[in-house]
């Protein structure tokens, strides 16, 4: 085994570790940090209100804070569309990696490593696409009810 192939294999392994380990851990850390920040802000608001008005009901304030947060949540349709977008992007990225590797423009060391990387990314994208279409079919009634509720809210406003 020569130095060049060893370097290419090491680069592929570092890439896979970065994508499969470091990236998910970073995402989980950021999500938890955001949730903790939201909890700290709610606590700060509640404490300030209780200092100014000691007879205020904390449960009512928390309910109002949670209700304002719920209005910012994404609808079911938006979540499904995000899955569609993610599926399309991952599938295209995997396809591009496969094509570029087969054309020799990108090298992951050996053909097998390049095909594996592109294939895995493309498979993840296809899984998102399958999830989107199955969810759309299964949640058809919920989507229609949500659209009616949103239309009623717009009319009442």
Q: What is the pLDDT of residue 88?
A: 95
Report the C-alpha gap between 4 and 109 in whole angstroms: 8
Q: What is the pLDDT of residue 157?
A: 64
| Tokens 């949540």 sit on residue | 73
Mean pLDDT of the chain: 84
Give yes or no for a contact between 14 and 108, defined as CB atoms under 8 angstroms apart: no
Q: What is the pLDDT of residue 92?
A: 95
Mean pLDDT by 10 residues, the chain (157 residues): 77 82 87 90 86 83 65 76 93 92 80 86 93 91 86 77
Total count of residues recorded for the chain: 157
Report the C-alpha gap between 125 and 83 in whole angstroms: 9
| Cα–chain center distance at 5 | 35
| Tokens 């890439």 sit on residue | 15
Q: What is the pLDDT of residue 48?
A: 87
- pTM metric for this prediction: 0.54
Hey, where are the domains in the chain? 1-73, 74-157
Q: What is the pLDDT of residue 67?
A: 57
DSSP letter string over the chain? --HHHHHHHHHHHHHHHIIIIIHHHHHHHHHHHHHHHHHHHHHHHHHHHHHH-TTS-HHHHHHHHHHHHHHHSPPHHHHHHHHHHHHHHHHHHHHHHHHHHHHTSS--SSHHHHHHHHHHHHHHHHHHHHHHHHHHHHTHHHHHHHHHHHHHHHHH-
């Amino acid at each position: 085994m020569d130095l060049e192939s060893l370097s290419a294999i090491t680069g592929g392994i570092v890439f896979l570790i970065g994508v499969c380990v470091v990236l998910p851990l970073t995402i989980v850390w950021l999500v938890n940090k955001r949730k903790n920040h939201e909890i700290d802000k709610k606590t700060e608001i509640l404490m300030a209100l209780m200092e100014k008005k000691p007879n205020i009901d904390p449960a009512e304030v928390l309910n109002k804070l949670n209700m304002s947060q719920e209005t910012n949540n994404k609808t079911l349709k938006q979540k499904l569309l995000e899955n569609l977008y993610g599926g399309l992007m991952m599938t295209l990225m995997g396809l591009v990696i496969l094509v570029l590797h087969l054309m020799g423009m990108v090298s992951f060391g050996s053909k097998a490593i390049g095909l594996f990387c592109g294939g895995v990314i493309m498979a993840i994208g296809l899984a998102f696409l399958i999830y989107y279409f199955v969810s759309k079919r299964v949640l058809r009634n919920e989507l229609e009810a949500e659209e009616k509720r949103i239309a009623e809210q717009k009319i009442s406003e």
